[in-house]
Amino acid sequence: MQYRTRLDENEIQKQYERYEDIWSIMHCMKELYTVLDQHNRYVVMKAFIGARIIEGSSIRKHGVIMLSLVEKLKDLQADFNEKEMDVDLILQSLPSSFDQFIISYNMNVLKKSLHDLINMLVQYEATIKKFASVLVERLQPLKRRAKLPDARREDLSPVSI
Query: Whole-angstrom Cα distance, residue 119 to residue 63?
Result: 9
Structural domain contains residue 129 = yes
Give the total number of structural domains in the chain.
1
Tell me whether residue 158 is in a domain. no
Q: pLDDT digits over 39-96, tens only?
A: 888 899 999 989 999 888 899 999 999 999 988 888 888 776 656 788 888 999 999 9
Does residue 72 sit within a domain? yes
How far apart (Å, rounded) are the C-alpha atoms in residues 97 and 86?
Answer: 20
Please tell me whether residue 139 adopts helix, strand or coil conformation.
helix
Instruction: Tell me whether residue 161 is in a domain.
Output: no
Please check whether residue 17 lies inside any domain of the structure.
yes
In whole angstroms, give the CA distance from residue 55 to residue 53: 6
Domain of residue 13 covers 2-148
pTM of the predicted structure, to 2 decimals: 0.59
DSSP state of 156: H
